[in-house]
A and B are shown apart, each in its own frame.
Chain A
Amino acid sequence: GESVGLHLPTLSVQEGDNSIINCAYSNSASDYFIWYKQESGKGPQFIIDIRSNMDKRQGQRVTVLLNKTVKHLSLQIAATQPGDSAVYFCAEKDTGTASKLTFGTGTRLQVTL
């Protein structure tokens, strides 16, 4: 989309396959994580969240995995569809900062037919 970086890492996935989008974070004090989806010309849209006391959370066709040991977050999308094509951002919240979020730079997901 025109509002998102031109040099984002890109993941190309065939329709029907599973997608895995990764995110590394650096703040060991982060206690809450969110995945957002941003389609071209639109604002970020909430997909799924997870608290730091959990390792895994599942939604509809999406799963978020959290590995606090290596500070890694992943978003798995099952049976990827053309409508999943977008930029995906992870965001983290420091335990001491109320609702203030820090965002990653994003990954572009391209779904091929």
Chain B
Amino acid sequence: NAGVTQTPKFQVLKTGQSMTLQCAQDMNHEYMSWYRQDPGMGLRLIHYSVGAGITDQGEVPNGYNVSRSTTEDFPLRLLSAAPSQTSVYFCASSRANPGVAAFFGQGTRLTVV
């Protein structure tokens, strides 16, 4: 049972490039989310999804797009990378019931130069 799998683990982009961070879970969780983690700050929610076909914005959605075509996958797209998007990105999943802890992936360290 792999849990939450993120790829790639590391990525360097040039300003203006686009890319997709992949996230897959094999626990049949309805709820998936993307966070970014920056020095001195807590995890901040970028986008989330409560089920296939449903997505919504979190705290810091600008510059990112998501889609949820299947229960298992929740990719995060950077449309035009900026240095301010240099961060560590975490994908998480959980059952949709209120009061259920999230399982996190190992993270993707993204550097935009």
Contacts and interface: CB of A to CB of B under 8 A. Distances in A.
Interface residues of B, number: 34
Contact of A105 (B4, B41, B45): B41
A98 B98 contact: yes
Which of B37, B95, B109 is the most central at the interface, judged by chain A CB atoms within 10 Å of its CB?
A: B37
B110 to A, nearest CB: 11
What size tier do the contact residues of chain A reach? Answer: 20 to 34
A98 B102 contact: no
B58 A99 contact: no
Contacts of A32: 98-99
A43 B96 CA distance: 20
Contacts of A102: 42, 45
B99 A46 contact: no
A43 B95 CA distance: 18
B99 A3 contact: no
A101 B107 contact: no
Contacts of A100: 33, 45, 48, 58
Contacts of A101: 43, 45, 102
Contacts of A4: 37, 39
B105 interface: yes
Given A6-B39, A103-B42, A46 B96 contact: no
